[in-house]
């Protein structure tokens, strides 16, 4: 293939999103001399909490990422990832990509300030946001590390939750998985559900209903989260009787699903599944249905949703993008 010189106004690769996938992709792309441009996103708190750096920005202690034997805070880890990417020459814009035109190459991106960017390749690493109840105190305590979380696997084993009463909100398979995991550490796990039966599969339901450490509170919703710096309990409302009551718990885990941040990809040719996650052409690679557009992290992963798996996907996306650009003769 004929070699194509890099036009001065066209990027080699633009990475949309930050977090473990985005920053890892940036580190690999920068070290490959692709001079990546990262759009890290903007802070948003309504209706969900969305911060540059992803969901780890809401995680006080990360104890399951290799290389940190004494743990590290989520925000510190993301600051270190970002600094490492910058060290190798990554350029960063605090903003969002609002629109993508992948119909011809180079691709055209438009950001939320109407700036147009041309690029040969794109890596999507926008993640997925946890669905929250939307209560003021829930958001406050989640952002302050006060015992409200959207990931039991990430946070449930922390010392602050051990041998304590904990609550899980939800009724699907994810809620059953989270509650089952928490029974390893908690004194009691209360599963709070709005209906009188779970939506989860029968197998997953049985795990909770047969577990002596799990107690189900049916037909109820959390209407407030109690506590100052740390959660001390939740206020419940019975949706049949309208009666309110307080439940003493030392941790609240929201398990009502996630929403991938892929709305800006509608009608771009990048195929999404029925839940909005980016489809992979090959499960072992990072290619999407548009050649030259790659993906990493939680926006393509509805199963694991871990920092280490997202970082691995970001690595693959950068390597795939580098090889694809070389195949196009772009240098």
pLDDT tens profile 187-238 = 999 999 999 999 999 999 999 999 999 999 999 999 999 999 999 999 999 9
- For residues 298 and 51, which has the higher predicted lDDT (pLDDT)? 298
Whether pLDDT at 142 is above 70:
yes
Structural domains of the chain in order of their starting residue, each with its CATH number: 10-129+258-327 (3.50.50.60), 132-254 (3.50.50.60)
Q: Please give the pLDDT value at position 38.
A: 98
Q: Please give the pLDDT value at position 48.
A: 65
For residue 299, indicate whether it is catalytic: no
Q: Please give the pLDDT value at position 3.
A: 41
pLDDT, average across residues 83-88:
98
What is the pLDDT confidence band of residue 154, given thresholds at 50, 70 and 90? confident
Task: Calculate what percentage of the chain has a pLDDT beyond 90.
Answer: 85
Which of the residues 155, 298, 301, 320 is marked catalytic?
A: 155
Which of the residues 100, 154, 299, 315 is marked catalytic?
A: 154
Q: Please give the pLDDT value at position 197.
A: 96
Q: Please give the pLDDT value at position 27.
A: 98
Q: Please give the pLDDT value at position 214.
A: 98
Task: Calculate what percentage of the chain has a pLDDT beyond 70.
Answer: 96
Bridge partners of 92, per DSSP, are 38
Q: Please give the pLDDT value at position 40.
A: 97
Which of the residues 151, 298, 301, 315 is marked catalytic?
A: 151
For residue 155, indicate whether it is catalytic: yes
pLDDT, average across residues 134-145:
91
For residue 151, indicate whether it is catalytic: yes
Q: What is the mean pLDDT of the chain?
A: 94
pLDDT tens-place string over residues 295-324: 999 999 999 989 999 999 999 999 999 999
Q: Please give the pLDDT value at position 288.
A: 98
Whether pLDDT at 1 is above 80:
no
pLDDT, average across residues 87-94:
97
Please tell me the distance from the alpha carbon of residue 176 to that of residue 182, in angstroms, as a whole number. 10
Q: Please give the pLDDT value at position 56.
A: 87
Please tell me the distance from the alpha carbon of residue 225 to that of residue 232, in angstroms, as a whole number. 8
Q: Please give the pLDDT value at position 47.
A: 58
pLDDT, average across residues 160-180:
96
């Amino acid at each position: 293939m004929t070699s194509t010189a890099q036009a001065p106004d066209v990027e080699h690769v633009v990475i949309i999103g930050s977090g473990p996938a985005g920053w890892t992709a940036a580190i690999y792309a920068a070290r490959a001399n692709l001079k990546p441009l990262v759009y890290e996103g903007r802070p948003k708190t309504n209706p969900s909490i969305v911060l540059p750096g992803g969901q780890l920005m809401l995680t006080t202690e990360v104890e399951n990422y290799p290389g940190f034997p004494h743990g590290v805070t989520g925000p510190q880890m993301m600051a270190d990832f970002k600094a490492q990417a910058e060290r190798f020459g990554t350029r960063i814009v605090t903003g969002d990509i609002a629109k993508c035109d992948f119909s011809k190459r180079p691709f055209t991106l438009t950001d939320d300030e109407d700036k147009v960017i041309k690029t040969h390749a794109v890596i999507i690493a926008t993640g997925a946001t946890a669905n929250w109840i939307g209560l003021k105190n829930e958001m406050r305590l989640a952002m302050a590390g006060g015992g409200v979380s959207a990931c039991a696997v990430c946070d449930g084993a922390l010392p602050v939750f051990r041998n304590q009463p904990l609550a899980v909100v939800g009724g699907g398979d994810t809620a059953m998985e989270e509650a089952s995991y928490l029974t390893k550490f908690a004194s009691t796990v209360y599963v709070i559900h709005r209906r009188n039966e779970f939506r989860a599969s029968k197998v997953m339901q049985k795990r909770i209903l047969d577990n002596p450490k799990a107690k189900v509170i049916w037909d109820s919703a959390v209407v407030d989260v109690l506590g100052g710096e740390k959660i001390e309990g939740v206020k419940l409302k019975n949706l049949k009787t309208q009666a309110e009551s307080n439940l003493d718990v030392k941790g609240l885990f929201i398990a009502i699903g996630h929403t991938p941040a892929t709305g800006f990809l509608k009608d771009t040719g990048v195929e999404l599944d029925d839940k909005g996650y980016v489809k992979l052409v090959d499960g072992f690679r990072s290619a999407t249905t548009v050649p030259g557009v790659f993906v990493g992290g939680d926006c393509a992963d509805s199963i694991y949703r871990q920092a280490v798996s997202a970082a691995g996907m970001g690595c693959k996306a950068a390597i795939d993008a580098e090889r694809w650009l070389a195949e196009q003769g772009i240098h």
